[in-house]
């Protein structure tokens, strides 16, 4: 059994991680901290867990008692934790924040298994990719691998309410406002663009094109659905084959010949990708569940790799479907 | 033109009132105060009004320049306003809070036109009924009028997110929580029960039955849909006729022979009522839009009565329907 | 491995059953029939299964190759199947329809484990309880057990769109109509009332009270949330203890001291129950996922009992939570 | 009073048109036909109209009794009606279908007031623009006017369930499928592209750029929200001024300095447009209510122009806002 602890498990990603780990056959949850929730039962905060655990939020991480630590912290908190904490030599760490995703952070590996599986298996520290970054990068990796990213890329992606912001209520998360509403935010400057660029450059060093990215806020709770356009003269059949080849070894990313819709992946760790061409324009549709493949599911996937488990362990989740 | 002012127009009911008054043919909006929004354009807070008004939130009510004041304040604020303010002698006031709804407040009339139309026409101060109270009382008034409230009453009613709480975000209003969710709150002890009892007792002084009221929170934004059960031995046809007779003079409350659904009344000032019997059990279904018939629309209705206008003026609203 | 087949697996309950069985460690799915879908991949109809199975809908059930058959058929189809089919002697059958739920059908046991666990373990044929019946009966069984059902019972319950009707589109299932809408249907005469009465009478033979049941259609996809009122003079603490005692051995039904909301159980096989009292009035709140505890999850629970597996096998499902 | 008739008033656009015309001060509704609904009350089909009209669907259009006919018919039905009907000489016609939108149909004017107001005022037959076409064309007209459409245009637009399909139920409109779901359809080949091209070419004859248009289906009922990208070297201030100048005379189309969201326009006849630049990339956000500005509201706008009324008559609608 892998003994694990969680720092700041009271938020969206922390809750999803706990829900996964409680049902994971090889994991023992030792402690979960939650600022401001110390002493409360986990199921008082994550109410769907009633009847599944009697664990409580604790004050103090007991790093010497665990094999693996999940940091469900934001960028500032993760940096401070890594700097100020006396970290046991063999402790493995999986960090959810943006702090260690870029290459300059040599101790951390970027935890996108479809890009870095072998390196992850041998590493100690993993940075979990961003949710938008996961969905969009997976839609483009096979093109990068084949050096086909040589023109402007246009990306639109719509995300649910659990992806853009925390549990902390705000006017943007108010049901009365968001129900039946749509808007965009941070056009062209979303914070995940640097990691997308870096992942693509890892496979195609010549990649310097612009990514024109417009994120939409949708009136649903879970999921990211993205459409990506780039000019490409290769035939659809050949391109589809490149994608199938690229993801041949991957358990969660599938190329489908049919149109896709968001609910096919909600509550699963899958990424579905569909390709179409219209003249020279290639359209890539890609979708994931932001809390699973885009966050906590990918974290568990990385854990499985770090500890040499079958990579799908604990991640064969029943889709909600409706 | 009726010159009007609004105290605290930045909330849900204030916004709806402004949207109504801007299109009302006989109203001139002189000022709107909004604590913390002073100086902002109205359309910066109520964003759907972009292009309809250049009015700004003001600091100070100018009571000497208006004929009618709307208090979109809570119970504490209304009381303090009435106690501390030097109110011009002829100023009419319509208060949205719960403070002056009960009879002991002799200066105010309870503004349910289907119960008190004549008295409202002659009054100066009006207390706007609560949203649940409006929906449920309208479902029971004809029975009270005919002295038929002699047994326990069981009421379930489900309300949208604009009805239970203010614009202030909270965990209960978070889209991620409320989307596709349902729960109840304040069973048996909802704060509107006293005014319902008082309205019914006004027509049937012998009324002392219990009202067992379970309020549900629904995952929609606007509307109240209620089901009311009480034992009654009279035939459905006779009961239906009593209801039709009672509301014969009313413009907004209709008895329908068909099942009703919430969207029939959303964005209108209507109340729809449907009756069914099963043996001796009478089932009354009643629905309204909580922001209109349940609040700001009813306030405008009262204004029309106070100023001897045709009662439907400014209230023939196009339903959204979908 | 239990070899299983499914008759009519193309609907809501069939899809959910397939999603469960594909991840069940002790089950091998041999065939699935689907009228009009013969030859299609399962994932073409249940699109969330893309990447999980290459099984296709078949024309012909191969009853001699399986240990257990699920009938995801309606009342007519189940009857015809049982009458016209040459059923192998040892084949176990779990039927989803209403046809065999009442006692007069001696060959079938009513598959509510909280009521009939021992009998189910020894039986060959099981009738899966109705979704509303499951939610409401579980809310009342401890009272029946203690002979406390001696007064009228008032039940309101709201159900999602996967519960009331099939996948076949109708005006009542049109998104444009149902989004943000609420209505009721079949008040007092819902088809699940006879089985509720029978289950309660099994524990309290003197039970003859009326159940006044108003079903609501909610604008969500999954789940049933019910509130049940009955007069009772026993203290809340004592009643709560009776409930805890009654369900002490059950894996999925929990009594909670806190208010409950629907999403706590969505995508799980749990039933959560909460009790409150106001004077002599007892309020029982009970909620389930209609496709799981209210249908396919309960069917798998019954399968586990029929084959002497740990009853939670394959049913520790990660909640969606949001 | 303008005497009007409606052919096929039982659908989404017909219902919205009826709701508008019943409250229009200068209109008298003479007849409404509805295939398959003949004899039914209007409010039996458009249930939100209960209490507002006692009109019934009729069998036969009485063209000699009206001044204006609305054709709420599809492309085939409109063509057949125009070909087979003996149309009175002075009868004005407003057609909702796609049949007569392109210039080759010389008798019809394309009813986009922001492009053709003067021509509409003098015409007899009007073709109502498509909903997507309205939203996207309004976002681009000022650029066409200033000859700035010289590069590829990338358009994403998301539409509600009342816009893509009729009231006829289908798997794509099933609540269980569409709630909390997103998908795309007809990428690059949507049927509104020809009319968008033609409108832009009317102002910039040199316009031959590609429009790469990806339509999304959203899980809401009303509205279109679109984002449009095109490279442009002019400053944001200058571009904004061009837009303000272009729409200076228009009552319903507004340029706003703030981000926009869909609900600002839902249930109104407005179009809101917002501009941003990032380097040389111009981003235009544009939104409308598909049933109003995108269909029935625009039809009434055209009627007002045809009959020399103030163009906003009957179209100052209270937004739902929530």
- pLDDT, one tens digit per residue, over C139-156 is 999 999 999 999 999 999
Do D78 and D103 fall within a single domain? yes
How large is the average pLDDT for residues C290-319?
A: 98
CB within 8 Å of C24: residues ≥ 6 apart: C300, C313, C314
In this complex, the residue of C48, C161, C318 whose CB is nearest that of residue A321 is: C48
Mean pLDDT of chain C: 96
What is the pLDDT at residue A104? 73
pTM of the model: 0.97
User: Are the Cβ atoms of A214 and D227 closer than 8 angstroms?
Assistant: yes
What is the pLDDT at residue D172? 75
Q: How confident is the model at residue D305 (pLDDT cuts 50, 70, 90)?
A: very high
Is B165 a residue whose pLDDT tops 60?
Answer: no
Is A169 a residue whose pLDDT tops 70?
Answer: no
B182-222 pLDDT, tens digit each: 999 999 999 999 999 999 999 999 999 999 999 999 999 99
Do A158 and A239 fall within a single domain? yes
Mean pLDDT of chain A: 96
Containing C216, the helix (H) or strand (E) segment is strand C211-217
What are the strands, taking DSSP E only, across D77-152? 92-95, 108-110, 125-127
| Domain enclosing residue C256, as ranges | 131-290
Q: Enumerate the residues of chain C whose CB falls inside 8 A of the CB of residue A270.
A: 50-51
What is the pLDDT at residue D10? 94
| Chains B, C: CB pairs < 8 Å | 119
User: Are the Cβ atoms of A47 and C264 closer than 8 angstroms?
Assistant: yes
Do C159 and C99 fall within a single domain? no
Q: Determine, yes or no, domain membership for D202.
A: yes
Containing A303, the helix (H) or strand (E) segment is helix A297-306
d(CA B215, CA B187): 6
Do D168 and D104 fall within a single domain? no
Mean pLDDT of chain D: 96
User: Are the Cβ atoms of D316 and B267 closer than 8 angstroms?
Assistant: no
Q: How many domains does chain A have?
A: 2
Q: How confident is the model at residue A203 (pLDDT cuts 50, 70, 90)?
A: very high
In this complex, the residue of D160, D175, D180 whose CB is nearest that of residue C174 is: D175
Q: Determine, yes or no, domain membership for D237.
A: yes
B133-148 pLDDT, tens digit each: 999 999 999 999 999 9
Q: Is D48 on the interface with C (CB under 8 A)?
A: no
Q: Is B257 on the interface with D (CB under 8 A)?
A: no
What is the pLDDT at residue B169? 63
Do D140 and D179 fall within a single domain? yes
What is the pLDDT at residue B131? 98
Q: Is A156 on the interface with D (CB under 8 A)?
A: yes
Do B135 and B166 fall within a single domain? yes
Q: Determine, yes or no, domain membership for C160.
A: yes
Q: How confident is the model at residue B103 (pLDDT cuts 50, 70, 90)?
A: confident
Do A76 and A202 fall within a single domain? no
C267: left (phi over 0), alpha (psi -120 to 50) or beta: left
Is B53 a residue whose pLDDT tops 60?
Answer: yes
Chain A nearest-CA residue for B164: A176
What is the pLDDT at residue D150? 97
What is the pLDDT at residue A218? 96
Q: Is A186 on the interface with C (CB under 8 A)?
A: no
d(CA D162, CA D166): 7
Q: B123 vs chain D: nearest CA distance in angstroms? A: 29
What CATH number does residue D34 fall under?
3.40.50.720
Structure tokens that stand for C99 in this block? 């046809």
Q: Is B256 on the interface with D (CB under 8 A)?
A: yes
Chain A nearest-CA residue for C19: A318
Is A312 a residue whose pLDDT tops 80?
Answer: yes
Do B103 and B141 fall within a single domain? no
Q: How confident is the model at residue D103 (pLDDT cuts 50, 70, 90)?
A: confident
Q: Please tell me the total number of residues recorded for chain C in this structure.
A: 322
Mean pLDDT of chain B: 96
For residue A196, CA distances in Å to A101, A144, A290, B176 come to 10, 11, 16, 27
Is B35 a residue whose pLDDT tops 90?
Answer: no
Q: Is B171 on the interface with A (CB under 8 A)?
A: yes
What is the pLDDT at residue C170? 67
D26-69 pLDDT, tens digit each: 999 999 999 889 999 999 999 999 999 999 999 889 999 999 99
Q: Enumerate the residues of chain C whose CB falls inside 8 A of the CB of residue A54.
A: none
Do A138 and A225 fall within a single domain? yes
User: Are the Cβ atoms of A221 and B12 closer than 8 angstroms?
Assistant: no
How large is the average pLDDT for residues D227-247?
A: 98
For residue C32, CA distances in Å to C35, C41, D189 come to 10, 10, 38
B270-297 pLDDT, tens digit each: 999 999 999 999 999 999 999 999 999 9
d(CA C157, CA C288): 11
User: Are the Cβ atoms of D278 and A218 closer than 8 angstroms?
Assistant: no
- Give the CA dihedral D87, D90, D95, D101, nearest 10 degrees: 100
What CATH number does residue D249 fall under?
3.30.360.10
In this complex, the residue of D20, D51, D252 whose CB is nearest that of residue B318 is: D20
Is C115 a residue whose pLDDT tops 60?
Answer: yes
Q: Is B243 on the interface with A (CB under 8 A)?
A: no
Do A154 and A262 fall within a single domain? yes
Q: Determine, yes or no, domain membership for B319.
A: no
A271-307 pLDDT, tens digit each: 999 999 999 999 999 999 999 999 999 999 999 999 9
Q: What are the beta bridge partners of residue B158?
A: B216, B225
A99-136 pLDDT, tens digit each: 999 987 779 999 999 999 999 999 999 999 999 999 99
Q: Determine, yes or no, domain membership for A34.
A: yes
How large is the average pLDDT for residues A227-246?
A: 98
Q: Determine, yes or no, domain membership for D85.
A: yes
Q: Angle between the D113-121 and D193-203 helix axes, to the nearest 10 degrees? A: 80
Q: Determine, yes or no, domain membership for B314.
A: no
Preferred mutation among D152, D164, D174, D180 to probe A, highest tally of A CBs within 10 A:
D180
Do A8 and A44 fall within a single domain? yes
Q: Please, which chains are in contact with C (at least 3 CB pairs closer than 8 A)? A: A, B, D
The share of chain C scoring above pLDDT 70, in percent, equals 98
Q: Please, which chains are in contact with A (at least 3 CB pairs closer than 8 A)? A: B, C, D
What are the strands, taking DSSP E only, across A174-264? 183-184, 211-217, 224-231, 253-255
Q: How confident is the model at residue B104 (pLDDT cuts 50, 70, 90)?
A: confident
Q: B174 vs chain A: nearest CA distance in angstroms? A: 5
Do B263 and B299 fall within a single domain? no
C240-271 pLDDT, tens digit each: 999 999 999 999 999 999 999 999 999 999 99
d(CA B211, CA C213): 18
């Amino acid at each position: 059994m892998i003994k694990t602890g969680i720092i700041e498990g009271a938020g969206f990603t922390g809750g999803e991680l706990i829900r996964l780990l409680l049902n994971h056959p090889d994991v023992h949850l030792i402690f979960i901290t939650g600022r401001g929730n110390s002493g409360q039962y986990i199921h008082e905060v994550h109410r769907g867990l009633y009847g599944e655990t009697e664990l409580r939020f604790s004050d103090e991480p007991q790093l010497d008692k665990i094999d693996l630590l999940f940091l469900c912290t934001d960028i500032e908190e993760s940096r401070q934790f890594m700097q100020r904490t006396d970290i046991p030599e063999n402790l493995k760490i999986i960090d959810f924040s943006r702090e260690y995703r870029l290459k300059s952070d040599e101790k951390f590996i970027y935890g996108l298994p479809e890009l870095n599986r072998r390196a992850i298996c041998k590493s100690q520290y993993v940075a979990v990719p961003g949710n938008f970054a996961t969905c969009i990068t997976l839609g483009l990796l096979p093109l990068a691998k084949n050096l086909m990213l040589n023109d402007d890329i246009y990306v639109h992606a719509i995300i649910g309410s659990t992806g853009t912001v925390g549990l902390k209520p705000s006017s943007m998360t108010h049901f009365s406002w968001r129900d039946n509403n749509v808007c965009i935010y941070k056009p062209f400057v979303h914070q995940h663009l640097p990691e997308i660029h870096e992942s693509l450059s890892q496979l195609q060093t010549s990649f310097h094109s612009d990514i024109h990215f417009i994120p939409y806020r949708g009136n649903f709770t879970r999921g990211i659905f993205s459409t990506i356009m780039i000019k490409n003269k290769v035939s659809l059949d050949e391109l589809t084959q490149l994608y199938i080849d690229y993801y041949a070894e991957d358990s969660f990313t599938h190329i489908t010949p049919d149109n896709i819709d968001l609910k096919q992946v909600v509550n699963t760790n899958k990424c579905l990708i569909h390709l179409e061409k219209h003249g020279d324009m290639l359209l890539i549709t890609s979708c994931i569940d932001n809390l699973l493949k885009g966050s906590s599911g990918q974290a568990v996937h990385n854990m499985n790799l770090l500890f040499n488990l079958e990579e799908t362990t604990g991640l064969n989740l029943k889709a909600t479907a409706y």
